[in-house]
Structure 1
Amino acid sequence: MPKQPKTIQEQIALLQSRNMQFIDINNTPQSLSTISYYRLKGYWWEMQDDSINHHFAPNSYFENVIDLYNFDRHFRLIVFNAIERIEIALRTKLIYHLSLGYSAEWYLNPSIFQDPKRFTSFVDKIKMDMKNSSEEFIVKHFENHPNEMPESWKALEVITLGTLSKLYSNLKHQLPEKNNIAKEFGLNNQKYLVSWLLTITVLRNIIAHHGRLWNRVIINKYDWPSSTPKPILSYIPTNHQRRKIFPILSAIIYMNNQISSDNHIRQELFDLFAQFPNVQLSKMGFPANWKNEPIWQ
């Protein structure tokens, strides 16, 4: 039977009955009127000492839940900006290398792709994306050239990171351009870039839908190289460790360092962690000595 909706005052009363504490309960209605009770559940779940009856452990404060929520909101923005740099760099590298090697319309050339079905699906998708695009340069292209598909530097601007990742993944393994792109991201083998991009796309989509990153379990499995031109971590994360964000976040920082060595992502994270010192980074897979890991130094 569906649960019945509750007023904000009823939500507060329910939290109180479950031993949630409040430093200033007068501020609570404002918080619950702008951030839903259900959304906040993901942040107070770890505070429970009885997950069946949803009873909170002693010294569980609602204000700490809001702090954790605000930390996660800022954390998502930093990670999203880092992923955006990767997306733009990937798009640029695909356009540059493959246009020079296989013409401006290389993305329509089936001979350079592995899987014909995936290729056909991609072409159908990109045609639909361009048909629905309101981007001025796409609209103008079809006004001037109604029977011609645009060059890759136009076409790839309207597709998502997920589609870009699948496009790169489906390129034939023997294409030198595929390995060259991986090397420009600091990876000796294209399979690691394919694997990382798929997981980074999952993170990007979580963030785009305002999902929680703190204490998130990364369901998508990804590979980890035994070595890289510049060290990332002092160890190879186990599959279990990769279920938390720390390893893939380290990979994102590494890729950003290949794009631009003077990026400020690490410093932005250090500043955020200092702003919210009570946040348990271990819940995101950060090891005790994480600051000593190569990519974080």
Structure 2
Amino acid sequence: MKEPKELSWPEQASLLEKRGMIIDRDDAQTLQSISYYRIKQFAEPLANFNKEKQEVNYDGVSFSEVLKRYYQDKNLRLNLLHAIEQIEVAIKTRLAYILGQNYGPYGYLDFYQWANREKFSNFQIEKSQYRFKEQLLKIVKKSSMPDFKKKENQNRDGFPTVWLAIDSLMFGGLVTIITTMSKRHLKRLAGYFNCTGNELISWIKCLNFIRNICAHNSDVIDIKLNTVPLIRQSWESNLYSIKGKNGYRPTNRLAVVIFVLVTLVSAVNTKYRWKDISSNIKNICAGNDDKARMIGFKNFESANIKKIVNNVNALN
């Protein structure tokens, strides 16, 4: 088997050109700061694949068009993270309030008090509790926040109060707590966001996945969700449907994420400025129905973020 050969930047540009991509003289220089494989990743949705030869064909695709998609994705990722942060902070605040009000400053450490015992066995609850406490102590140890070090904010085992603990959680830890909660507490938490408990769990799992993608600089424009979050009927007229074995099913593309994001952020902040994300989506679709469908919208008109926000606020 032939070992991979290191290619110079001009050679990488030549390889893309050989496969049909329209390359300008300065494009090899761009490959010094944006890797060949990153360019290849963003070019893939625009390319054709020859099954017989097992080759990618970039005929008619320009390097500049691919580079534009790369920067569109980069800008969108930053703006998605900003919107997700709005939801994260609001959920933490409400969650800490519910647990603190019901079980005091340290009752949250006893998962048996507030976990869904119908859904989880005692062993599963104990396992989740152990992992949570282990991770929490690591967070406390690494934190430079003065409030964590104050004795009045710790129990005898060194665990912080519920308000400090929940605020310090990563998004993944937040998902663990919410999915473990009893139906009563989950219903109350979801009520703050104008959704059901099942919707909240489904949506925050989706946003946790998207947040990780954005944080690790992965391609979010071309995202295909393996697990599609719960979709409201009111969203369906704006979403592109995919034909499957059992008939049509809702898209698993970025558009679904946008609806989840708009619905949750609007419950927290009706005055949130959607201008940046709206501009991102408009540039990605470029007034083209086909490009709008590539990210899961029914057509370009359906990708109008301002209208989506207004419709969601009207229903809430």
TM (norm. structure 1) is: 0.86
Whether the 8 Å contact between 1:9 and 1:29 is mirrored in structure 2 is: yes
The residue that corresponds to 2:230 in the other structure is 223
Taking a change above 3 Å as real, the CA distance of residues 225 and 21 of structure 1, as seen in their structure-2 partners, is closer
Is this contact kept in 2: 1:119–1:170, CA < 8 A?
no
Read off the aligned partner of 2:192 and give its amino acid letter: E
Q: SS state of the match for residue 39, structure 1? A: helix
Structure 2 Cα separation of the partners of residues 242 and 203 of structure 1:
16
Q: 2-side partners of 1:144 and 1:102: how far apart?
A: 15
What is the match of residue 25 of structure 1? 25
Q: Distance in 2 between matches of 1:121 and 1:286?
A: 40
The 3-state SS of whatever aligns with 1:220 is coil
Between the aligned partners of 1:235 and 1:273, the Cα distance in structure 2 is 14
- What displacement does 1:107 show? 2.0
Say if 1:225 and 1:281 are closer, same or farther in 2 by CA, change over 3 A: closer
SS of the residue 1:79 aligns to:
helix
Tell me if 1:246 matches 2:292: no
5+ residue gaps, structure 1: none
Q: 1 CA distance for matches of 2:140 and 2:108? A: 14
Distance, in Å, in 2 between the alignment partners of 1:71 and 1:233 is: 25
Are 2:165 and 1:164 aligned? no
Distance of aligned partners of 1:47 and 1:286 in 2 relative to their CA distance in 1, 3 Å threshold: same
Secondary structure (helix, strand or coil) at the match of 1:33 reads coil
Q: What do residues 76-121 of structure 1 show as CA deviations (whole Å, max 9, x unaligned)?
A: 1111111111111110110112211221223202221134222232
Q: Output the CA distance in 2 between the equivalents of 1:143 and 1:163.
A: 20
State the match for 2:273 in structure 1: 264
Partner of residue 290, structure 1:
302
Counterpart position of 2:245:
none
Q: Distance in 1 between matches of 2:280 and 2:251?
A: 22
How far does the alpha carbon of each residue in 1:208-253 deviate from its partner, in whole angstroms, 9 at most, with x for none?
1001011111113422345xxxx55547987943421111211111
- CA-based RMSD of the aligned residues comes to 2.6
Structure 1 residues 166-209: Cα deviation after superposition (integer angstroms, max 9, x where no partner): 10110111x2x32121011110x211101111111000001110
The residue number in structure 1 matching 2:148 is 138
The superposition leaves residues 140-178 of structure 1 with CA deviations (integer Å, 9 ceiling, x where unpaired) of 4599876442111111222111110110110111x2x32
Check conservation: 1:237, 1:247, Cα contact below 8 A. Answer: no
Is the contact made by 2:19 and 2:56 (CA closer than 8 Å) also made in structure 1? yes
Letter paired with 1:185: F
Deviation at 1:291, TM superposition (A): 4.5
Higher mean alpha-carbon deviation, 151-160 vs 269-278, is at 269-278
Query: Could you say which residue in structure 1 is the equivalent of 2:77?
Result: 76
Assess if the C-alpha contact under 8 Å between 2:114 and 2:181 holds in 1: yes
Residue 89 of structure 2 corresponds to which residue in structure 1? 88
Tell me if structure 1 keeps the 8 A contact 2:278–2:304: no
Correspondence for 1:155: 165
After TM superposition, list the pairs within 5 Å mapping 1:90-239 onto structure 2: 90-110=91-111, 111-114=113-116, 115=120, 116=125, 117-141=127-151, 147-173=157-183, 175=184, 177-187=185-195, 189-225=196-232, 232-234=235-237
State the aligned residue count.
Answer: 286
- Between 118-127 and 72-81, the greater mean CA deviation after superposition: 118-127
Pair 1:156–1:128, CA change in 2 (3 A): same
Alpha-carbon distance in structure 2 between the residues aligned to 1:237 and 1:185:
26
- Alignment TM-score, normalising by the size of structure 2: 0.81
Contact 2:225/2:253, CA 8 A, preserved across alignment: yes
Cα separation, partners in 2 of 1:73 and 1:142, compared to 1, 3 Å: farther
